[in-house]
């Protein structure tokens, strides 16, 4: 518990930004990027930055979705016509590398944006070493961003995750219930008449 309190104190000492909320713990600011952990995604770390066109950009881990352990979030208060929950076909470019993906319209901190969930580690690797990121919808550019200092940001995101994982690994496991009727997913069978 002392380690978790120490980690929380260290993270809390970093200045608050527009990416901070009650659900995030700030780790570090590096080269214009915020590195933090999102408690709502299983204490998963992310990198984020804001651009001149008022686009907020975030890339990170998502430990709640085993099929898509990474995500990109792009939010812009000009994107008022996005319909929450609707899928939008987006073309992503990292310099000349291209991915065609489906993005979900979401509301983040009261503003509309697009969220892309993915599992391709190559996208994260290329993000760290490329110079530019852009996204197109129906042939129209919606985001064009410089990736200056993205290598340092991704390195810090990984360092953040290692530190958070180390602290969480030392946390005591919750006590096992002595109630024989308490539902335990690992102990149930298909023929269990008490399964809820």
CA nearest to 107, candidates 135, 82, 142: 82
**What's the token pair of residue 63?**
């430990």
Angle between the 150-169 and 121-129 helix axes, to the nearest 10 degrees? Answer: 130
pLDDT by residue, tens only, the chain of 196 residues: 333 333 343 333 333 334 445 688 999 999 999 999 998 888 999 999 998 888 999 999 998 888 899 999 999 989 999 999 999 999 999 998 898 999 999 999 899 999 999 988 888 888 888 889 999 999 999 999 889 999 999 999 999 999 999 988 888 777 777 776 766 555 555 555 555 5
DSSP summary character for residue 54: S
Radius of gyration of the chain (CA): 19
What CATH number has the domain spanning 2-169?
Answer: 2.60.40.1880
Sequence ranges of the domains in the chain: 2-169
Determine if the pTM surpasses 0.85.
no
3-class state of residue 13 by DSSP:
coil
């Amino acid at each position: 518990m002392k380690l978790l309190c120490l980690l929380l104190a260290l993270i809390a000492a970093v200045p608050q930004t527009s990416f901070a909320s009650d659900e995030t713990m700030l780790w570090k600011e590096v080269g214009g990027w915020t590195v933090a952990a999102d408690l709502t995604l299983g204490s998963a770390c992310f990198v984020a930055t804001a651009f001149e066109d008022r686009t907020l950009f975030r890339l990170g881990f998502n430990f709640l979705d085993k099929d898509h352990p990474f995500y990109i979030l792009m939010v812009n208060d000009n994107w008022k016509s996005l319909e929450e929950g609707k899928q939008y076909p987006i073309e992503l470019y990292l310099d000349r590398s291209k991915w065609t993906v489906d993005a979900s319209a979401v509301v983040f901190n009261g503003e509309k944006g697009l969220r892309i969930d993915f599992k391709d580690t190559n996208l994260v690797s290329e993000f760290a070493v490329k110079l530019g990121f852009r996204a197109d919808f129906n042939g129209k550019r919606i985001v064009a961003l410089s990736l200056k200092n993205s290598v340092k940001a991704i390195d810090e995101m990984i360092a953040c995750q290692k530190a958070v994982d180390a602290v969480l690994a030392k946390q005591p496991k919750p006590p096992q219930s002595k109630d024989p009727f308490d539902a335990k997913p690992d102990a149930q069978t298909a023929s269990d008449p008490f399964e809820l």
